[in-house]
Each structure stands twice: as C-alpha cells, then as structure tokens.
Amino acid sequence: MAKLTYQQLDRCSAFAKLREMPAVQVCNELDPDRIARYELPAGGGLTFNYAARPVNERIIEGLNQLCAEQELREQFQALHEGAVMNVGEQRMVLHHLVRGRLGSDVFVNGRSQRDFYVEQQERAAVFAHGVRAGSIKGSTGKQFQTVVQIGIGGSDLGPRALYLALKRYCEAHAPSELDEEADSPSPSSSSRSPDPTLEARFISNVDPDDAAAVLAGLDPERTLFILVSKSGTTQETLTNEHLAIDWMKRNGPRSIRPRKHMVCVTAEGSPLAASDEYLDAFFIDDYIGGRYSGTSAVGGALLSLAFGPEAFSQVLEGAHEADKAATAPFAENAAMIDAAIGVYERNVLGYPSTAVLPYSQALERFPAHLQQLDMESNGKRVDREGTPVRYPTGPLVFGEPGTNGQHSFYQLLHQGTDIVPLQFIGFRRNQSSLDIEVQGSTSREKLNANLAAQVVAFAAGKADDDANKHFPGNRPGSLIYGEELNPRSLGALLAHFENKVMFQGFLWNINSFDQEGVQLGKVLTKQLLGGGERSALLAAYADILGV
C-alpha cells in the first residue's frame, strides 16, 4: 500500500476553495426534487438524506476533492487492514473486524484477529444459550432472571443504548429459536407469561447511590453480573464489583458464592482475566477502543444474554453492511458525505455544536452514546503527530428523542442566536403493537408528521411581521430513516456514526482513537485518595467536599 500523506486540514487546497465558495441558504435551495436526489443508502436498510444540509453541487464536489486530498478511502482501507492508526498508543483499530471482514484478515503473533473475535462471540453465544435455557444457573441452583452490567464510559453507554433500543422490538419479535426457549419450563415464580428476554440493568457511576437504586428489589440468587473493564483496573467498575459482592452476601443465603454470579469482559492479560473465581470470561483486546466496543463482547455478552445471540448477530450484520457502504467512492458513501458536510459546517460555516434527534423513544440513550463516540474521539487539539491544530475539531454533541425535545430545547434551535446543525433519525413503523387512532391519526403518524414538520420548519422558516413570531429558517438538518428500528438497522445506525466520526478524524488529521484528556483527572484523584501529598488547590476543594 502506498504511503499516506497525513496533513492538517488547512493545508488542503480543496479546503481553501471551499472557504471561497458562497454559502448556501438551505431555505432557498430545498425543493422536492432535491429531497429525492440528495439521498443515499447507508446499509442495513437505512437511507441518509442530506437535502436540508447547507450544500449544493459545487460544494459537494469541493468536499469530494477534500476527501480525496485527505485520502479518506485509503486511510479507511489502511485501518481495516491493520495499519497502526491509533498512533498515540501505537495500536491498530479493529472494531470493524468484529462484525465481518472488509478486506484481508489481520494477524497478531500469527493469530487471526477475525478468528479471535468470532471465537469470543461464539463463546458468549453458547454461554448466553445456557443461561437463557437454564442449564447455567446461579451458585444456589436458581435460574438467572436479571443481568446487571457493571461498566462505565464505552462499557456502559453503547451497550445501554443498544439494549434500550432493542428491548421492545425483541419482546415483540422473538426469533424462532428464542420462541423454543420461552417454552422451556421456568422456575420463576412470576405470574407473567414466559418472556424470551432477560431483563438487563446497568451500574456505572462510582456514586454508591447508583448501585443502590439498580440493585433495589433484585434477588441476588437470580442475578448475573457482567463486569466490563478492558484494563481490569477501572476504579468505578472494581469498586462496584465489591459493592455487588457485599450486596449479594448481605441479601443472599450463606451458601451464595458471589463471583460465580459474575462474568468478565476484559483483555486477556488483565487482572480480571487472571482470576479463575468468576463464572466465565470473554475477551477483547487493545485494538477495540471503549467507545467503539458496542459490537464486541462488551456489548455482545449483554445483548446475547438479554435477547439471544441471534439478535446480536443481526446487529453485527447491519453494522457490517454500513461498514461496506463506507468503503464506496465518495458519491455513493453516506458516512463520508455526512462526515464531510459536518466538517464544512464546523470549519467553514463555524457552527460549534450539533444535535442528535431520534424520533424514536427506544433511542432515548442513543444521543448519549454518540456524545461519547464523537466528543471523546474528536475533541482533540493536536494532530496525529502531536502538533497543535489551528482550526476547530470535534463539535459539542447533544440530543434527546423527539417529540420530547420539541417541548424542551427546540425553542433555541428555532429562534436562538446560534445555528445548530441537526441530525434527525426516523422510522416508518414502531416497535410495539400498541397504537391507537385519535382525532384521525395514529400515534405513529403523529410522530412522523412532527418529524417531517420539524425538518421543514428548521430549513424553510417562516416570515412574520412580529419579530417574536419570525422563524429565520436556514437551520440545516439531515435525516437518516428506515422501515423499522430492529437489530439490523440499529447495527447499521451505530456503524454509520462510528464511520462518520472516523472520517471526520481523518479530515482533521487527528487521532480519533486515543483519549489522553481523561488522564489528568485520574492522576489528581489518586493523589487525593492515596493519602500522600496533595496540592493546595486539591486540598481546598477536597476540604469543601469532605474528602
């Protein structure tokens, strides 16, 4: 493979040209023809529509040239073929490989990485089948009813967002193999009918009130914990492991053996992996970053247990479809166009933030996951060689589901003094069968009518002589939509954003795969807790807070 160039964004001639081009007023450009033309498949049955983004053919061609100049396709190819793209930590970046091979396989010390990831998936699948069928039980012989994932950051936000996104769908659409399991005798005393899903909960915060709330009402004998920490040293996760063990001892029978209610997801060489006290362990490695680990065993163990391995396989399939779509030439590459327009909005138009607005309550925590994915990946001030950049990089990302957000922060989005580019997500069908027609339309129709209305309202605005009722419009928005939110489309949605963030990192020439910014806080916390010398500033704040 040819050597890649790697240069800062403002060295690109295409970037200079883009800055010279007149900006587009979305409100003047948007028409039905453009809505039909400005869209592309994004994998997993999803379509990416960018008709309401502030671009035209000329700007798009400029972005095409920019992506060529920054060698985005070549960088992505290098990445999935095992180049050390995480230069700061000198690591490969292999999260695409957990969901299928894009090119050739990658080998480490003679071992196929693809085989390693598949092996972990298969081991987690066998384990999940055993737990779900009742052949793997708690230490006092009772079937597991609840899975509690203990993890933080990437070990929490992605898995949690995915779990919530699929809970209703998997309850309503049990695949045939899950149906069989649901017929197996259940020792549960619950009066509810057998449920093909296992309830999942999450403990993340080191605040002990988090664990207290999550554990309240659970039966220790029927609870399975998944400890997720790649390093096996994460303060929050190890502390919460002890809390959970203590809780089991105090609330379970004397015979309970707490670590036999725990499986680990960790690196092979970690302290957690070294212990044989746990019920089982599934492995990840240094080539899967936390915020990119939703499709690895970090998300896989939980989703396989909660919904069955079949559902998790479909997530991987959808993600792989989106990955394949991201290898296409610019003109057919939804993730690359999405990324390039985002950089245009950030670095040419100067918009400092972007909102994620899923019109699906099941995606209630998906914006929180994207917030980590994007801000931790691209919130960087130096390029991949460590030289400070002279331009803004990753934007602030936030969001809540629609229609809820409409009754909250949309006021500022419509009529505030700053423009915030919007990323809408929608589906034609809902997940549950619950719906009702009120005043001539169903809830689903109301939801999507609101979504269509908002995209148009933001882009087109509305003139009014009363300045307080005037909508300036020209607020850009894209729309990713699909038939329904199911495991496959969810996997594609996740991977689309992962790939978009990766492409933006390539455009900015930053390393999207390390996170040195989290270190200083850890060091200072250790100083405080270690009992040694503490700086006067630390001591003053610690005193205030009773530490």
Catalytic positions: 376, 407, 522
CB of 118 to its own copies, least distance (A): 28
How far apart are the C-alpha atoms of 52 and 73, rounded to whole Å?
25
Contact 513, 91 (CB under 8 A): yes
CB of 335 to its own copies, least distance (A): 20
Convert 348-376 to b/e letters by CB count within 10 Å (16 or more is b).
beebeebbbbbbbbbbbbbbbbbbbbbbb
With respect to its own copies, which residue has the nearer C-beta, 97 or 492? 492
With respect to its own copies, which residue has the nearer C-beta, 45 or 103? 45
With respect to its own copies, which residue has the nearer C-beta, 2 or 537? 537
With respect to its own copies, which residue has the nearer C-beta, 128 or 451? 451
Amino acid at 130: G
CB of 470 to its own copies, least distance (A): 8
Convert 236-249 to b/e letters by CB count within 10 Å (16 or more is b).
bbbebbebbbebbe
The secondary structure of residue 498, as a DSSP letter, is: H
Q: How far is CA 395 from the centre of its chain?
A: 16
Contact 164, 302 (CB under 8 A): no
Task: Return the structure tokens found at 168.
Answer: 């209703």
Sign for the pseudo-dihedral over CA of 450, 484, 168, 295 = negative
With respect to its own copies, which residue has the nearer C-beta, 1 or 537? 537
How far apart are the C-alpha atoms of 201 and 183, rounded to whole Å?
24
Based on its alpha-carbon atoms, the radius of gyration of the chain, rounded to whole angstroms, reads: 24
Task: Return the structure tokens found at 222.
Answer: 């029927």
Residue 459: CA count within 13 A, CB half-sphere? 27
How far apart are the C-alpha atoms of 125 and 306, rounded to whole Å?
11
Burial class from Cβ neighbours inside 10 Å (0-12, 13-18, 19+) for residue 463 reads: exposed
How far apart are the C-alpha atoms of 100 and 106, rounded to whole Å?
12
CB of 126 to its own copies, least distance (A): 29
How far apart are the C-alpha atoms of 322 and 100, rounded to whole Å?
11
CB of 489 to its own copies, least distance (A): 14
CB of 102 to its own copies, least distance (A): 27
Q: Looking at the chain, how many residues does it have?
A: 547
With respect to its own copies, which residue has the nearer C-beta, 133 or 396? 396
The secondary structure of residue 48, as a DSSP letter, is: E
How many degrees, rounded to 5, is the angle at CA 54 between CA 52 and CA 58? 115
How far apart are the C-alpha atoms of 103 and 447, rounded to whole Å?
41
CB of 502 to its own copies, least distance (A): 16
Sign for the pseudo-dihedral over CA of 189, 192, 198, 202 = negative
With respect to its own copies, which residue has the nearer C-beta, 321 or 514? 514
With respect to its own copies, which residue has the nearer C-beta, 256 or 375? 375
CB of 478 to its own copies, least distance (A): 12
With respect to its own copies, which residue has the nearer C-beta, 106 or 311? 311
CB of 441 to its own copies, least distance (A): 5
Amino acid at 427: F
- Strand, coil or helix: 152: coil
CB of 154 to its own copies, least distance (A): 7
- Strand, coil or helix: 225: strand
With respect to its own copies, which residue has the nearer C-beta, 332 or 418? 418
Contact 310, 175 (CB under 8 A): yes
What are the residues facing 108 on neighbouring strands? 111
The secondary structure of residue 283, as a DSSP letter, is: E
**283: CB partners within 8 A, 6+ apart:** 116, 120, 265, 266, 267, 268, 273, 297
